[in-house]
Homo-oligomer: A and B are copies of this chain.
Amino acid sequence: MAANFFGQIFRITTFGESHGPAIGVVIDGCPAGLSLSKEEIDHQLSFRQSGKSPYTSPRKENDRAEILSGLFEGVTTGAPIAILIKNHDADSSQYESIKDLYRPGHANFTYLEKYNIYDYRGGGRSSARETVARVAAGAVAKKLLAHFQIECAAFISEIGGISIRDQDLSNLSKLRKKIETSPIFCPDETASIQMIEKLEQIKEEQDSLGGIVSCAAHLPSALGDPVYGKLEAMLASAMLSIPASKGFEIGSGFAAARMKGSEHNDIFDIDLQGHVRTATNFAGGTLGGISTGSPLFFRVAFKPTSSIQKPQQTVNLNKEKATFQLPESGRHDPCVAIRAVSVVEAMTALVLADALLMNRNVKV
């Protein structure tokens, strides 16, 4: 079943394996008339890049986008935009030693159950390497959103039990500056320092940490569709499709379960500009699945990186007990949430771009 696409009107289809020649994406449904450059995509890819700090995996991914189609003289034409990102530094030989072992926390067991075949080199299609295609597509979606003054910003809000203080979501440019200052995309400087300490410690332990990525967006009211097309349903689907994600909550989220209706209901009021707005935003920016115009706000939980240097017990394909030892050279991020920041932001942009276009069809 076709399952490598996302979106309805602004639709992406991704392809490629971790150790194949390239990862790619086709964006079908991007409106014509948008100026777009390779550099803008590369800029987004750089945020996802590993090797940039000691807190993400040292595998160098100098990812560069190659735009194969859909542009004419620097402007989108309405034709599908295909983007290729070549794979480099992919030494498959290291995976020889572990190819017959079920990897703890990994997908080789389920892929083999499902398909009877598995490209074990670097995780093949199940590798988080696939997310580079999402970030490339997200760069295009962001250009479309920017045209309509819509923006979003994702950031680290918790790692290894250390949480950030509440951030002011009213000015996303300011927030973005704080995010980009931190080597781990954490806008709270104090928390950032503590997290980095924890990350250094966990690397020494040959272990890994989980984390939480938060995301905020500024958008007009009326985006999102009722019933099964609710904005939060689309976002939840997008976020739980990111490798290693374990949960999604919007606005008050799980905390809502411990609140009373009289506390949780955001009271409607008139702001200084005469617009209907709510003072609080427990809703997180939607009501009935449709944006209110208040900032969209949600959080995504990520499990600790499954690939750890520590030896682990497992079984092999012959159902014999075995020890799983990650090859030295196959080092991985100590906390996958850090790299997920750019992916959360990209997927948010894709959801909002689709919602924006779908909203053009709801009134005569």
Contacts and interface: CB of A to CB of B under 8 A. Distances in A.
A246 B240 contact: no
A99 to B, nearest CB: 11
A79 B119 contact: yes
A238 B319 CA distance: 36
A144 interface: yes
Identical chains bound together, number: 4
Contact of A77 (B118, B224, B259): B118
Interface in A292-342: 292-293, 301-308, 310, 312-315, 319, 321, 337
B319 A266 contact: no
A51 interface: no
A255 B226 CA distance: 31
A143 to B, nearest CB: 9
Interface stretch (A37-45, A68-76, A171-179): A68-76
Chain A interface, >50% SS class: mixed
Given A202-B260, A262-B308, A1 B241 contact: no
Interface stretch (A53-61, A183-191, A356-364): A356-364
Contacts of A5: 5, 11, 13, 28, 228
A302 B256 contact: yes
A119 B159 CA distance: 45
Interface string A122-153: 00111000100000000000001001000000
A276 B109 contact: yes
Given A5-B28, A319-B276, A233 B237 contact: yes
A361 B210 CA distance: 35
B105 A264 contact: yes
A91 to B, nearest CB: 17
Interface string A104-124: 111101110111111100001
A211 B224 CA distance: 25
A221 B268 CA distance: 45
A110 B6 contact: no
B11 A313 contact: no
Contact of A114 (B126, B240, B362): B362
B303 A264 contact: yes
Central interface residue in A158, A235, A243, A304, by most chain B CB within 10 Å? A304
A272 interface: no
Contacts of A69: 15-17, 20-22, 24, 125
16 contacts: A15-B70, A20-B69, A26-B26, A77-B119, A78-B115, A79-B119, A110-B287, A110-B288, A115-B362, A125-B226, A160-B258, A210-B258, A233-B238, A246-B250, A261-B308, A276-B315
